[in-house]
Amino acid sequence: MAPVIIDGKKVAAHVKERAAERVAALKARGVEPGLAVILVGDDPASRAYVDMKERDCAQVGIRSIDVRLPADTPQAELEALVDGFNADPAVHGILVQLPLPDGLDAEAVIARIAPEKDVDGFHPVSIGRLVRGLPALHACTPAGVMELLRAYGIDPRGKRAVVVGRSVIVGKPMALLLLQADATVTVCHSKTADLRAVCREADILVAAIGRARMIDASYVKPGAVVIDVGINRTDAGLVGDVDFESVAPIASAITPVPGGVGPMTRAMLMENTVAASEEASR
């Protein structure tokens, strides 16, 4: 039987429609959601990503405050800019595009953002609240994966989930969200012994390692749901961490790259910004 191809573009469109309805309700009460996006330097991938986020804001009805700074911007200047947005009641979400240029301390900048405006979900308070199971703004990519699972009726409860990758941006929050959804979760990384065997135990396998097509059919249990978070630029074009051609025939459901998790990350950013606006206006 052919696998279900999980359509991230379609689900992201639904999420953005939902966000736009909530924005309209906020504006009817005199509240205009505002998202401040800070881009330091001129990394082409980061610039393209920020441009797409601004288009998403326009679609949903969120006011986008776009700040672009040179790569040699001092740490103090960047932190002062964040402080200004923290104090501005018209700004409900703050996003500092990562990675930052060499010489800037990303952790210090992230910690500077007011947790209630941390729409990326990277602040230590946001992560800590997720660990404790408290309401919080969740990291957009893992939140997007959970939305995809819900949209396709894939319930993690009682399932064995394996997350390959332990980054603070994806791997760790992904594991925590799956745990909240009552999955039994294993987190793998570069030091995991017999990674292939561990992955083959997964009912839900999430690949977030940044290595092009590393996860082939030998890593996947027949019938598993395979979520590919990877975005790798190669001579052959954009590919994921999963070798789609070899894995798809044995998976029950799989995300493509592009068109799978990627659109969801930006859609969940819109949802987080709306949620922050709603909370600030209570």
Which residues belong to the active site?
53, 97, 120
The radius of gyration computed from the CA coordinates of the chain, to the nearest angstrom, equals 19
Residue 64 tokens read as 């986008």
Q: 21 CB contacts (<8 Å, ≥6 apart)?
A: none
- The shares of helix, strand and coil residues in the chain, as percent rounded to the nearest 5, are 45, 15, 40
Residue 56 CB coordination number (10 Å): 21
Nearest to 138 by CA among 105, 109, 181: 181
* Rounded Cα distance, 174 and 130, in Å: 10
Note whether 165 and 208 are within 8 A (CB): yes
